[in-house]
Structure 1
Amino acid sequence: MALTSVVRRSASRIAPLILRISTGGSHRCTHLHQSSPILTAVNHSSPNTFTRSFPSFIHHYSSKPSSDGALLRVIESEIKFAEDSQDGEEVEEVPKGFPFQIEDNPGQQAITLTRELEGETVTAEVFMPDLVTGEEQDDDGNDVEGEGRGNQSSIPLVVKVSKNGGPYLEFSCTAYPDEITIDSLTVKDPKNSEDQIAYEGPDFADLDENLQKAFHKYLEIRGIKPSVTNFLHGYMVDKDSREYIAWLKKLEKFVES
C-alpha cells in the first residue's frame, strides 16, 4: 500500500471525537409528605400545638440524566462512522522477510519489535503516528502542497542495541516517508543508579557528518531502514484506528451502565 494513500485515507478516519450536546436535562424529585403520628396524637391532646408535616426521605430520581442519552447517541454515531471507514480497507500484512518479531498488545499505544543478530539484541518501541495530509491552504482557501518534514507524517521510535545484558546504545528516531532521522544517541548502563546523572554526549546533529552517516548505516544493518519504517507507518495507522474504536466502545459501555 502506498504510504501517501494510507495517510490520506486515515486522516478522516481517525479524526478526533467532538461532542456537542445541545440538550440539557433537569432532575426532579417528588417529596412525599406524611403527617407525623406523634404530632397527630399531640395535636389531639393539645389543641394549641401547631400541626407539622415532615417530608419522608423517599426521593424519586430519573435513572439517568437526559444529557447522557444525547451523549450516548453521539458516541454510537461516531463508532458507526469509524467502523464504516474501516470496511473495505486493506489490512497491513507483515511483508515477507520482515526482520523483526512484532509484539502488539491491544490497548497499548506502542508496539515492540525484537530481533537477535550476531550476539546482539535489537529492540524498538514504535509509537502512534503523527498524521498530516501534506497539504495546506493558502489565504484564498486553495490547497497547496506542503513542503518540509513539518508537513510529513511520521512515527517516533526508540531503538536499543544491547550485548549480553551490558551497556547498550539507545537511539531516539523519527521515521518519515522514505527517511529516518536520528534525534539523539546515548550510551546507557543498566548497572548505573537512576540517581546518577550520566553524560549523554552532544546533540546528534552536532556530531561530525561522517559519524552521523556511520550511525545511520549502523541502524540500517540492524533493520531500521525505510523499507521497514514505511510498512510501520501503515501498520500504526491501522492500530490507531483499532484502538480508537475500542476506546469509543469503552466510553459507550461506561455511559450506558
Structure 2
Amino acid sequence: MSLNNLVRNASRLVPFAIRAPAGTRWCSHRHYTSALSATVNGCLKDLPFPRSLPSFLHHYSTEISPDESLLNNVNYEIECANESLFAAEAEEEVPEGFPFKIENHVGTETIKLTREYQGETVSVEVYMPNLVTGDEEEGDDPNQSQLPLIVKTSKRGGPYLEFGCTACPDEIVIDSLSVKDPENSEDQIAYEGPDFTDLDENLQKGLHRYLEIRGVKASTTNFLHGYMIDKDTREYVEWLKKLHKFLQA
C-alpha cells in the first residue's frame, strides 16, 4: 500500500469520530484513536520502512489522563445544559398579569413570590420540581412535574395562615393548613390542625377559593413549572462550573 493511500485511509477515520452523534459521550479520545492506530499500523506492515506511526498521527494516539477526561465530561454536561436553557429561553418570560414579584437568588433551591392583597401580605415559597415520569403509578402522564409550595398569608401584627400545597399541571392540591402565631415560643409544640382531607368538603372548597383570589391558582403555577425546571438547570450549570474550576486549579 502506498503512503498516499495510508494517509487517505487514516484521514477518513478522524472525521468519522468527529461526526459522532451529539448524544454520544467520548470519555477520552481512545474510542477512535485506538481504531485509527490499529488501521494505520496494519497498513504500515506492508510498507518497506520501519513500522511506526508517522509523527503527525501521534497526537491522535496519545491517551489523556483521567483528570482531563473528567474535565471533558464536565464541559460536555455544561454544553448540553446550556443548549437546553437556550431552547427554553423564550418560555421563561413572566406572563402579562402575573400577580407576584419573583425573588430568585442564585445558589438556592427555592424562589419566593410576594404580593400585597387588601391589607394582607401573601408570600409563596416555591421549591424545585418533583418530576413524574409515569413509572410510579400506572396511568400518570409522563414528564409532568409537581411543585411543592409553602403559602403564607399574614395581617399586620397578628397570626398568619400557612398552607402546604402541591402544584400539579392545571391543579393545586392543599396538603395541610396551620394557623400560626409568630409570638409563640419555638419550644412549644403547637396544634397543627386536622388533616386537610378530614375537613368538611365545603370548607375545603372555601379554602381553595381563598388561595385562588389571592393569586395562588393554576394559571399562576403552570408558568412556574417551566420556570423552576429552568432554574434547576441553571443551578446545575453553576454547580458544574464550580466543579470545573476546582478540577482546573
Provide the C-alpha distance between the structure 2 equivalents of 1:200 and 1:150, rounded to a whole number of angstroms. 34
Provide the C-alpha distance between the structure 1 equivalents of 2:167 and 2:141, rounded to a whole number of angstroms. 10
Match of residue 122 from structure 1: 122
**Structure 1 86/151 Cα, relative in aligned 2: closer, same or farther at 3 Å?**
closer
Q: Secondary structure at the match of 1:112?
A: strand
- Larger RCO (CA under 8 A, 6+ residues apart): 1
Match of residue 148 from structure 2: 156
Q: Secondary structure at the match of 1:249?
A: helix
CA RMSD after TM alignment: 2.6
Q: Is the 8 A contact 2:131 2:143 kept in 1?
A: no
Match status 1:211 vs 2:210: no
Question: Which residue identity lines up with residue 107 of structure 1 in the other structure?
Answer: G
Provide the C-alpha distance between the structure 1 equivalents of 2:151 and 2:168, rounded to a whole number of angstroms. 16
Q: Secondary structure at the match of 1:82?
A: helix
Unmatched tracts of structure 1, length 5 or more: 1-17, 24-65, 138-144
Match of residue 196 from structure 1: 188
Match of residue 73 from structure 1: 72
Question: Which residue identity lines up with residue 158 of structure 1 in the other structure?
Answer: I
Unmatched tracts of structure 2, length 5 or more: 1-24, 31-64
Match of residue 103 from structure 2: 103
Q: Secondary structure at the match of 1:88?
A: helix
Q: Give 1:27-66 correspondences, 5 Å limit.
A: 66=65
Match status 1:229 vs 2:221: yes
Q: Secondary structure at the match of 1:94?
A: coil
* 1:4-56 CA distance string (max 9 Å, x none): xxxxxxxxxxxxxx9x89x9xxxxxxxxxxxxxxxxxxxxxxxxxxxxxxxxx
Provide the C-alpha distance between the structure 2 equivalents of 1:206 and 1:226, rounded to a whole number of angstroms. 23
Q: Is the 8 A contact 1:91 1:238 kept in 2?
A: no
Provide the C-alpha distance between the structure 2 equivalents of 1:214 and 1:147, rounded to a whole number of angstroms. 30
* 1:100-152 CA distance string (max 9 Å, x none): 11101111111000001111000000011112344x59xxxxxxx95248984
**Whose helix proportion is higher, 1 or 2?**
2
Question: Which residue identity lines up with residue 192 of structure 2 in the other structure?
Answer: E
Q: Which has the larger Rg?
A: 1
Aligned residues: 189
Question: Which residue identity lines up with residue 78 of structure 2 in the other structure?
Answer: I
Within the candidate set 150, 159, 171, 1:167 is matched to: 159
**Structure 1 97/151 Cα, relative in aligned 2: closer, same or farther at 3 Å?**
closer
**Structure 1 74/237 Cα, relative in aligned 2: closer, same or farther at 3 Å?**
same
* 1:222-254 CA distance string (max 9 Å, x none): 110000000111111111111111111111011
**Sequence identity (%):** 63
Match of residue 178 from structure 1: 170
Match of residue 245 from structure 1: 237
Question: Which residue identity lines up with residue 84 of structure 1 in the other structure?
Answer: E
Q: Secondary structure at the match of 1:198?
A: coil
